[in-house]
Amino acid sequence: MTQAAAVRPGIGAGPVVADICVRGGLGFVLLLHRRRDGQAAEELYFSTRRDDGSWTAADHLSGGVLGIDPTDGRDVAGVLRGRPLAPFGESETELFTGRPQADEGCERLCFHEVLVGQEVGLLDVERASSGPDAEPSRFRKTPTCGVALFALLPGERLIVRPIVDNGGAPGAPGQAYELTCSDDGPGAGPELRPADLG
C-alpha cells in the first residue's frame, strides 16, 4: 500500500471532504457521506470570497447517490480496472463569477469528478485554455480521497496526468486526460477523454 492510499479517509465514520477547488472568488467543496440506507452519496457546495478574504456560508449546488464508495479501494479498483484515472461524474451550473466577459456577471461552470486510483500520489494539471485572457499554467494536486474535483470556466481546457507514488517518491506522469468546458452555450457538456497530445 502506498502512502497516498494509507491516508485516504473513509466515509464509514461520517462525512469526509473529498476535494476542494478554488477558482478566483469561488470555492467548491465535494463532500462524501453514507446515507441512512447505506448508499454512498456526494454533495457539492460552493462559497464566495468576500473583499476581506473571508468566505460566505456554503450553499448546496447538487448531490446524489453514487454507484460505489469512492473511499473504498476495492470499489475504486473495480471501476478503474488497472487505469489510474477514470471519469466519475460531471455537471454544469450557472453562477455569478463577476468576470468582465460574463453575461451580467453569470457564467456556466463545468464540474468534473475524476476517480483516482490508490497508487496515484499526485495529479499534474496543466491549464491549456485558449482565448484572449488565457494564461497557461501548471499546478499539482494531491488526492486525499478517491475523487478529485475540477471546476472549469467556459472555454477552459485542463490536461490531467496521474503521478504514481513509488514508495514515497513520485514517478513519471502517466497518460494525459483532457477535461473541457465548451463555450458553445447550453447543452454543450463537459468531457473527459485521453488527451491527444500528438
List, as own/partner pairs, every contact residues 165-173 make where C-beta atoms lie below 8 angstroms and the sequence separation is at least 24, other chains included: 165/2, 165/3, 165/4, 165/119, 165/120, 165/121, 165/122, 167/2, 168/2, 168/3, 170/121, 170/122, 173/124
- C-beta of residue 32 within 8 angstroms of C-beta of residue 18: yes
Q: Give the residue extent of every domain in the chain.
A: 3-194
Grid coordinates representing 194 are 485521453
* Parallel, antiparallel or unpaired: strands 157-166 and 177-180: antiparallel
- For 121, residues 6+ apart whose C-beta sits below 8 A from its C-beta are 2, 3, 4, 142, 143, 163, 164, 165, 170
Residues of the chain predicted below pLDDT 70: 1-8, 130-136, 167-172, 183-198
Predicted confidence (pLDDT) per residue in 60-118, tens digit: 999 999 989 998 889 999 999 989 999 999 999 998 888 877 778 888 899 999 999 98
Q: What is the pTM of this model?
A: 0.83
Type of residue found at 63: G
